[in-house]
């Protein structure tokens, strides 16, 4: 669940919980409050009734009670009201049949709320009044009032929850949005886009976080530039002396006057071989640095695949023969030329064929093929070598990635682990795609898709 949704849900849940607790508290206190106010009303009515009865006793005229009696009878909750003299004889009663009879306590039975008060005449008791309310009527009145109040409260609580949800959403959006921007920025910086900056101008913690990320990216960018500069300077400075070593070494080996002693000749050959390898390594490092900096130059022109195949075969057929590996090309006749920089494309094919030769044992075979595929040309290098394990396939094009560097070195297989990285970048920069897959049977297959050169 996203942060915004989670945040607003928690917010709304908390408000609903608070509203629920408030509703419970309100229900309990309102029940007592309603019961008390009904009792207060009844006490007021009883006092009024006792006061009127005092007046009637004073004037000895009970007729004045008749209008109030009529009012009391209209009250549906009232069971009866009565006025008794000191001897307990009923002087006035809402039921006229009981007037004049002695008070019988059995009349009070049933679900009744009875209240009584003395009738005073010149500070002397002159009798008592009684008022009885029907219990069920009182309770249903309480319930009705309570339900009305709870409905109003519910309406207020629901509105408060809805407002809380909206406020929660707005708040969550306000927090989640900049966090999302920071997360996306951090992801881009992590992917190597060191020139990316997170554009958030705030003074709070999120603003500080964004500023720290930007600071980190700036520092990393400076270090990266410094590293690239260092690599290209050192590589450049290494290339010239290395060329001199190779050149003079080869000159000595080709010396026709045989002035170089045979015991020295072998050592010079090793020296030339190693200097050449170091030269390839330096070239690879320089190429990778150029590609990374976007400074690699391409001159795309229509390129015939038959020519590419011819170059590759002439370059590697001797090594293939020595290793007893069959190296062949299968180019569909009349295949349309591709659009590519010839030198760079040859470099890619050389790396794929040299890899295939490195990892294919004696008796194996390597096929360089090219055929049309929709609007493109599909070029593949398939070998019958040791192949690439499925879990290594996704990483094979990464910088310095070698399946088992230590084992390869122990077997005398040489390489820097930069060839496929450079190949992938080169092919993609030229508008193509490259992928690796297991070859049918055994071995590895590298497939390149290149755009066809349009006829001028």
Ligand X SMILES: Nc1ncnc2c1ncn2[C@@H]1O[C@H](COP(=O)(O)OP(=O)(O)OP(=O)(O)O)[C@@H](O)[C@H]1O
Binding residues for Mg ion, per CB under 5 A?
351, 355, 419
Q: Show the 3-state SS of 250-317.
A: HHHHCCCCCCCCHHHHHHHHHHHHHHHHHHHHHHHHHHHHHHHCCCCCCCCEEECHHHHHHHHHHHHH
The structure tokens 């049918």 sit at 440
**Token representation of residue 49:** 């009734």
What is the closest distance, in whole angstroms, from the C-beta atom of residue 415 to ligand X in the complex?
A: 3
Q: Draw the binding track, 275-314, toward ligand X (x: CB under 6 A; -: no contact).
A: ---------x------------------------------
**Helical (H) or strand (E) element with 393:** none
What is the closest distance, in whole angstroms, from the C-beta atom of residue 352 to ligand X in the complex?
A: 7
Q: Is 403 in the site for ligand X (CB under 6 A)?
A: yes
What is the closest distance, in whole angstroms, from the C-beta atom of residue 226 to ligand X in the complex?
A: 24
**85 and 91 in contact (C-beta within 8 Å)?**
yes
Q: Is 8 in the site for ligand X (CB under 6 A)?
A: no
Alpha carbon of 275 to those of 212, 234, 269, 405, 416: distances in Å? Answer: 46, 16, 10, 21, 14
Residues in contact with ligand X, counted by CB under 6 A, come to a total of: 23
Q: Is 19 in the site for ligand X (CB under 6 A)?
A: no
Q: Draw the binding track, 323-362, toward ligand X (x: CB under 6 A; -: no contact).
A: ----------------------------x---xx--x---
**Contacting range for ligand X; rule: CB under 6 A; set: 71-79, 126-134, 255-263, 411-419:** 411-419
Determine the Cα angle at 280 with ends 276 and 281, to 5°. Answer: 115
- Give the nearer residue to ligand X in terms of CB position, either 42 or 384: 384
Any bridge partners for residue 124, and if so which? 121
**Contacting range for ligand X; rule: CB under 6 A; set: 67-75, 131-139, 204-212, 381-389:** 381-389
What is the closest distance, in whole angstroms, from the C-beta atom of residue 366 to ligand X in the complex?
A: 9
Contacts of residue 341, defined as CB under 8 A and 6 or more positions apart, other chains included, come to 298, 299, 300, 301, 430
Q: Is 383 in the site for ligand X (CB under 6 A)?
A: yes
Strand-pair category, 326-331 with 365-373: parallel
**Token representation of residue 326:** 């069959």
386 binds, among ligand X, Mg ion, none (CB under 5 to 8 A by kind): ligand X
107 binds, among Mg ion, ligand X, none (CB under 5 to 8 A by kind): none
What is the closest distance, in whole angstroms, from the C-beta atom of residue 214 to Mg ion in the complex?
A: 38
- Give the nearer residue to ligand X in terms of CB position, either 385 or 432: 385
Q: Is 418 in the site for ligand X (CB under 6 A)?
A: yes
Contacts of residue 149, defined as CB under 8 A and 6 or more positions apart, other chains included, come to 26, 30
416 binds, among Mg ion, ligand X, none (CB under 5 to 8 A by kind): ligand X
- Give the nearer residue to Mg ion in terms of CB position, either 8 or 351: 351
What is the closest distance, in whole angstroms, from the C-beta atom of residue 303 to Mg ion in the complex?
A: 21
What does the buried/exposed string (b/e) look like for 129-155 if buried means 16 or more CB atoms within 10 Å of the residue's CB? bbbbbbeebbeebbeebbeebeeebee
**Contacting range for ligand X; rule: CB under 6 A; set: 85-93, 142-150, 307-315, 378-386:** 378-386
Q: Is 384 in the site for ligand X (CB under 6 A)?
A: no
Q: Which of 338, 419, 425, 450 binds ligand X (CB under 6 A)?
A: 419
Q: Which of 81, 385, 430, 434 binds ligand X (CB under 6 A)?
A: 385
- Give the nearer residue to Mg ion in terms of CB position, either 189 or 348: 348
Q: Is 416 in the site for ligand X (CB under 6 A)?
A: yes
Q: Is 382 in the site for ligand X (CB under 6 A)?
A: no
**340 and 300 in contact (C-beta within 8 Å)?**
yes
What is the closest distance, in whole angstroms, from the C-beta atom of residue 354 to ligand X in the complex?
A: 7
**372 and 378 in contact (C-beta within 8 Å)?**
yes
**Token representation of residue 131:** 């008022």
Q: Which of 185, 249, 364, 415 binds ligand X (CB under 6 A)?
A: 415
Contacts of residue 216, defined as CB under 8 A and 6 or more positions apart, other chains included, come to 189
The structure tokens 């996306």 sit at 184
**What does the alpha-carbon distance between residue 411 and residue 386 come to, in Å, rounded to a whole number?**
13
Instruction: Supply the angle between the helices 419-429 and 262-292 in degrees, to the nearest 10.
Output: 40
- Give the nearer residue to ligand X in terms of CB position, either 134 or 424: 424
- Give the nearer residue to ligand X in terms of CB position, either 340 or 348: 348
- Give the nearer residue to Mg ion in terms of CB position, either 178 or 419: 419
Alpha carbon of 143 to those of 32, 34, 148: distances in Å? Answer: 11, 9, 9
**What does the alpha-carbon distance between residue 392 and residue 402 come to, in Å, rounded to a whole number?**
9
**Contacting range for ligand X; rule: CB under 6 A; set: 19-27, 192-200, 248-256, 380-388:** 380-388
Which positions lie near ligand X, rule CB under 6 A? 284, 351, 355-356, 359, 383, 385-388, 396, 401-403, 408, 415-421, 444
């Amino acid at each position: 669940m996203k942060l915004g949704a989670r945040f607003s849900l928690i917010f709304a849940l908390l408000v609903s919980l608070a509203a629920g607790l408030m509703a419970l508290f309100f229900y309990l206190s309102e029940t007592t409050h309603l019961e008390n106010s009904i009792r207060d009303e009844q006490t007021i009515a009883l006092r009024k009734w006792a006061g009127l009865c005092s007046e009637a006793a004073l004037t000895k005229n009970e007729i004045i009670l008749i209008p109030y009696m009529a009012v009391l009878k209209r009250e549906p909750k009232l069971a009866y009201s009565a006025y008794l003299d000191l001897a307990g004889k009923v002087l006035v009663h809402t039921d006229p049949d009981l007037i004049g009879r002695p008070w019988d306590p059995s009349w009070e039975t049933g679900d009744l709320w009875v209240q009584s008060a003395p009738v005073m005449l010149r500070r002397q008791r002159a009798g008592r009044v009684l008022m009885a309310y029907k219990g069920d009527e009182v309770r249903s009145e309480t319930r009705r009032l309570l339900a009305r109040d709870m409905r109003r409260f519910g309406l207020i609580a629901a509105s408060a929850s809805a407002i809380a949800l909206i406020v929660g959403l707005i708040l969550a959006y306000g927090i989640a949005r900049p966090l999302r921007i920071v997360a996306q920025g951090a992801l881009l910086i992590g992917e190597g886009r060191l020139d990316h900056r997170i554009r958030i101008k705030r003074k709070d913690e999120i603003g500080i976080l964004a500023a720290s990320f930007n600071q980190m990216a700036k520092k990393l960018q400076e270090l990266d530039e410094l590293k690239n500069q260092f690599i290209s300077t050192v590589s450049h400075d290494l290339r010239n002396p290395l060329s001199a070593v190779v050149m003079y070494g080869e000159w000595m080996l080709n010396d026709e006057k045989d002035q170089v002693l045979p015991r020295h000749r072998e050592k010079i050959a090793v020296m030339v071989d190693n200097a050449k390898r170091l030269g390839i390594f330096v070239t690879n490092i320089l190429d990778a640095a150029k590609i990374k900096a976007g400074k690699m130059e391409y001159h795309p022109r229509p390129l015939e695949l038959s020519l590419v195949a011819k170059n590759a075969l002439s370059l590697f057929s001797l090594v293939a023969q020595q290793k007893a590996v069959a190296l062949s090309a299968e180019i569909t006749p009349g295949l349309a030329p591709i659009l590519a920089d010839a030198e760079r494309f040859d470099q890619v094919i050389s790396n794929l064929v040299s890899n295939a030769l490195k990892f294919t044992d004696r008796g194996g075979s390597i096929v360089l093929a090219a055929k049309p595929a929709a609007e493109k040309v599909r070029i593949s290098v398939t070998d019958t070598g040791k192949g690439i394990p499925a879990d290594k396939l996704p990483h094979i094009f990464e910088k310095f990635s070698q399946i088992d560097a230590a084992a390869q070195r122990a077997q005398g297989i040489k390489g820097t682990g930069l060839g496929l990285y450079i190949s992938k970048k080169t092919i993609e920069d030229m508008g193509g795609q490259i992928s690796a897959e297991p070859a049918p049977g055994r071995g590895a297959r590298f497939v390149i898709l290149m755009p066809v050169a349009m006829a001028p």
